[in-house]
Amino acid sequence: MKTILVTGGAGYIGSHACKALKQAGYTPVTYDNLVTGWRDAVKFGPFEQGDLSDRARLDDVFAKHKPDAVMHFASLSQVGEAMSQPGLYWRNNVVGALTLMEAAVAAGCLDFVFSSTCATYGEHDNVVLDETTAQEPLNAYGASKLAIEGILRDFGAAHGLRHVIFRYFNVAGADPEAEVGEFHRPETHLIPLMLDAIDGKRDALTVFGTDYDTPDGTCIRDYVHVCDLVDAHVLGLEWLKDGKENRVFNLGTGTGFSVREVIDQSRAVTNREVPYEIGPRRSGDCTRLVSGSTRAETELGWTPERSTMGRMIEDAWRWHQTGHYDG
């Protein structure tokens, strides 16, 4: 049974990846500092607490578990914070990833699956985004992920580090069995914020800006179900195992939903009103981010089966009602 080191495996996407890996016959080893992750989310394999900046700790973990590959999710990812504290993002995301790659190469672990983002593209009005679109990030979050992509290419050329990079769009939904789900502190993602408002855990959802150049004035995003997303990561491991070339894949559905449309869908799924208020635009937000790529489907054989908005909200609502780590 192959062992996979999953950085950030106690977080939202990482915990779902660990479940998918276990179901696929792998042993996921979670490496997480628990700054934004949750110990209760580590349910599918061993746990090692540590920081990406701690090279000695990483070396110990590689020596102990001898992973066959790394699946790297651990990063800071709040756009507003990235705008106000760029140094934090460059230090945490880029230096952390560099230290991880150096430790992996030293341990002879040369298969690397990286969680990147469509935020590396920046804003391209009226353009559907594919893997060849110019990358012009608007904030330190997207810029830090773009920098890591560059380091991966350099390590591939210099050290034979094989890699698959996934640039994904807005991740939503939760494990249908509600074993793990989406929970951040503070919460910044649209759907859990909206469900909190529906459930009375916050007064109202804030809609940031209604003057964008979209049909209803609110931002448009491409949403992909977290379970579909992590299935692609497992396929990425298989891609590397088969000796295929280093590759970049967008993960999105090609369908965009505005904030108002997501609110309408939530009302339909939960049969409850969504209390919301209008706020100003957030610095660093793009008008429209929608994938125009089919590369993951045609080359990896990936199908985003659960990624309808109704299904994503339904699964998120189930988790919201039954599974929070804080009780």
Q: How far apart are CA 3 and CA 68, in angstroms?
A: 6
- 27 contacts 44 by C-beta, under 8 angstroms: no
What are the structure tokens assigned to 258, written together? 């505005």
Cα(180)–Cα(1) distance, integer angstroms: 23
Residues in contact with 326: Cβ distance below 8 Å, sequence separation at least 6, in sequence order: 183, 185
What is the sign, positive or negative, of the torsion defined by CA atoms of 102, 103, 104, 107?
Answer: positive
Among 238, 107, 90, 230, residue whose Cα is nearest residue 161:
107
Give the chain's count of helices (H) and strands (E): 11, 13
> To which residue do tokens 């034979």 refer?
160
Residue 109, amino acid = C
The four Cα atoms 231, 235, 241, 243 give a dihedral, to 10 degrees, of -160
Burial of 98 (0-12, 13-18, 19+ CB in 10 A): middle
The residues carrying an active-site annotation are 141
